[in-house]
Amino acid sequence: MAKRTIAALDAKGKRVLVRVDFNVPVETDPPRIADDTRIRAALPTINALRDQGAMVALCSHFGRPTGPDRKLSLALVAKRTAELLGVPVPMAPDCVGPETKQQIRSLKPGGVLMLENVRFHPEEEKNDPAFARELAAGFDAYVNDAFGAAHRAHASTEGVAHLLPAYAGLLLEKEVRVLTSLLDSPARPFLAIIGGAKVSSKIDVLKSLVAKADVLAIGGGMANTFLAATGTDIKASLSEPDRETDARAILDAAWKRGAEVLLPVDMRWSGDKILDIGEETEYLFAAQVADAMTVFWNGPMGLFEQPAYAHGTEAIARAMAQLSGSAAVTVVGGGESVQAVEQLGLAGKMTHVSTGGGAALELIEGKRLPGVEAIPNV
């Protein structure tokens, strides 16, 4: 499955609607962008279109407004985008409507306009056809680079793709290529490291990976449920007794295909609660990383937000970073796990750090993403 990308778009003189995921984390008082990774990640697509002489309108959601909400304006994001691109990025008053369409018509080749938060319209999340038509009006092509929103069938991520010639942006293309190749054709040995708080939120990820990986290393709060299921006394640790059957099924599935499952052999405790993997487990997991040709990691190994319980998470990130420059493929996907790698300054040492959170996990689960499916195959 290869999707048509902007490499197949002759963008010169065209008005292009580009869906980006500029839903960046912000701090309030004073309002400021806490992390502009998602904006930076879309720059190659925006610049490729500008270089060809396209007129670019950027469209994104931001937060969860229920209607127009000044606090959730993309104005701050437009300002940051302008700084990063080195060209003015004026702000449209809305994403649809006559005034916005006039601004789109006035764009010059290479020019960029930021449309206002598409979720100011409830029709967006309903994938309302009339709203999608309004959004598409005045454009010659649609480019989707919003991988982080591709698991949602909304008007700006799915609906418009059926109304305009649709293309994948460079970020979306890379995310889909790297993440699907993990499942389809991983270089082996393939090690999957899964952590995070709960088995319940990752059960489909575990099921998918246990069918593909050579080694599955399990840490974080979710390991407690596996440990309990195999008879270890986890005392008052976070666990999900009703998921112990699921945990056993994962262990069985691995055993049946000759895959290995590694559970923590020692833990860091706070009173009677397990809050991180222990030192020996760090060595055990790091040794597997060093031997792997493909490593996929999702989910912190402990309560990494507290420095005392960040050791396990840091050990995994450092072990993966050490593969930098080798032929091994290292991929990190998720919310908090990606945040941890970025905080450690190790993102640049990985083959790929997904910008996609939930969308990345859905791809790993083997699900199809509506925003990707709506783009024609080549």
Catalytic positions are 38, 198, 335, 358
Give me the sign of the Cα torsion angle 196, 197, 199, 205. Answer: negative
**What is the nearest approach in angstroms of Mg ion to the Cβ of residue 99?**
39
Give me the sign of the Cα torsion angle 352, 353, 356, 359. Answer: positive
Comparison of 143 and 234: residue with beta carbon closer to ligand ADP: 234
Comparison of 227 and 323: residue with beta carbon closer to ligand ADP: 227
Phi and psi dihedrals of 263, rounded to 5? -105, 160
Task: Please say whether the beta carbons of 346 and 321 come within 8 A.
Answer: yes
**What is the nearest approach in angstroms of ligand ADP to the Cβ of residue 195?**
6
> Pairing relation of β-strands 32-33 and 26-27?
antiparallel
Q: Which does 371 bind (CB under 5 to 8 A by kind): Mg ion, ligand ADP, none?
A: none
What span, in angstroms and rounded, lies between the C-alpha atoms of 285 and 218? Answer: 9
What span, in angstroms and rounded, lies between the C-alpha atoms of 233 and 114? Answer: 55
The number of residues that bind ligand ADP (CB under 6 A) is 20
Among 298, 336, 340, 375, binds Mg ion (CB under 5 A): 336
Residue 19: Cβ-neighbour burial (10 angstroms; 0-12, 13-18, 19+):
buried
**Residue 200 binds ligand ADP, judged by CB under 6 A:** no
Comparison of 159 and 333: residue with beta carbon closer to Mg ion: 333
Q: Which does 274 bind (CB under 5 to 8 A by kind): Mg ion, ligand ADP, none?
A: ligand ADP
What span, in angstroms and rounded, lies between the C-alpha atoms of 143 and 176? Answer: 15
**Residue 221 binds ligand ADP, judged by CB under 6 A:** yes
Among 65, 111, 264, 302, binds ligand ADP (CB under 6 A): 302
**What is the nearest approach in angstroms of ligand ADP to the Cβ of residue 163?**
34
Among 320, 336, 362, 363, binds ligand ADP (CB under 6 A): 336
Among 76, 238, 253, 286, binds ligand ADP (CB under 6 A): 238
Q: Cβ–Cβ contacts within 10 Å for residue 284, how many?
A: 17
Give me the sign of the Cα torsion angle 64, 65, 69, 73. Answer: positive
Single-letter residue type at 180: T
Contacts (CB under 6 A) with ligand ADP, residues 269-288: 274-275
Task: Please say whether the beta carbons of 3 and 173 come within 8 A.
Answer: yes
Phi and psi dihedrals of 142, rounded to 5? -125, 130
**What is the nearest approach in angstroms of Mg ion to the Cβ of residue 95?**
28
| Angle between helical axes of 37-51 and 170-184 (0-180°, round to 10) | 120
**Residue 299 binds ligand ADP, judged by CB under 6 A:** yes
Q: Which does 221 bind (CB under 5 to 8 A by kind): ligand ADP, Mg ion, none?
A: ligand ADP
Give me the sign of the Cα torsion angle 194, 195, 196, 197. Answer: positive
**What is the nearest approach in angstroms of ligand ADP to the Cβ of residue 307?**
12
Comparison of 120 and 304: residue with beta carbon closer to ligand ADP: 304
Comparison of 276 and 336: residue with beta carbon closer to Mg ion: 336
Residue 70: Cβ-neighbour burial (10 angstroms; 0-12, 13-18, 19+):
exposed
Comparison of 111 and 302: residue with beta carbon closer to ligand ADP: 302
Comparison of 51 and 305: residue with beta carbon closer to ligand ADP: 305
**Listed residue (82, 97, 94) closest to 39, CA to CA:** 82
Site string for Mg ion, 296-335 (x = CB under 5 A): ---------------------------------------x
Question: What's the length of the chain?
Answer: 378
> Which residues sit at the interface with ligand ADP, rule CB under 6 A?
195-197, 201, 220-221, 238, 274-275, 298-300, 302-305, 334-337
> Which residues sit at the interface with Mg ion, rule CB under 5 A?
335-336
